[in-house]
Amino acid sequence: MKQINAIIQSTGVPHILAGGLNSLDETDYSHERWTDIVKYYEEMGKPTPKVEVMKYLKSNGYVDAKYYAGECESVVMIAKGQSVQGTCKYGTRVDYILSSANAPYKFVPGSYSVISSKGTSDHHIVKVDLIKVTDSPQQCASKKIGQERKRRVKITHSSSPTKCIWKTHS
């Protein structure tokens, strides 16, 4: 938690946060599935799964790429009561791609997927496409006006005193 807080505090610029956070997002699981996960951890002698990191990031406005999932073949079996594909051998999701609230890039709908690491890692690969966000409608309108002015071409025909202003279209 200290490490995540340090990352957030150290950067005042928009960013993408990606990697194995080894934290679970409780909202990925039904109550029954969550109970099974906790029981499994207890049987393995592990502490109860940590959810504080994801709660903290979400409360700080981070956007989770999982909401931009498309149709893809499951790499691991999605357990009953689980709304997202797991990224580790236990079938839970511990790897994330998150965007800070003010990032100039947004996730492309339908592009998030989990890809098999084919045994090169004990975690699967998570991927999402990004697009640069366009300006607000007001900024776009003012830019278009400026661009139209720049695109205007003054045409003078040497054999005629007639002058025209042509407006180009794109």
What per-residue confidence (pLDDT) applies to 137?
52
φ and ψ at residue 114, rounded to 5 degrees: -110, 125
CA separation for the pair 43, 11 (Å, rounded): 39
pTM over cut 0.85: no
Q: What's the Cα-to-Cα distance from 113 to each of 9, 74, 75, 164, rounded to whole Å?
A: 29, 9, 10, 55
> Averaging pLDDT over each range in 63-72, 127-136, 159-168, which range is the top one?
63-72
Q: Judging by beta carbons within 10 Å of its beta carbon (0-12, 13-18, 19+), is residue 31 exposed, middle or buried? A: exposed
- The residues, ordered by sequence, that sit 6+ positions from 72 with a Cβ below 8 Å of its Cβ are 85, 113, 114
Work out the mean pLDDT of the chain and round it to a whole number: 78
- How far from the centroid of its chain's Cα atoms is residue 26's Cα? 18
More confidently predicted of 141 and 38: 38
Residue 148 has pLDDT above 80, yes or no: no
Residue 62 — pLDDT band, cuts 50, 70, 90? very high
Candidates 139, 70, 135, 63; CA nearest to 106 is 63
What per-residue confidence (pLDDT) applies to 110?
92
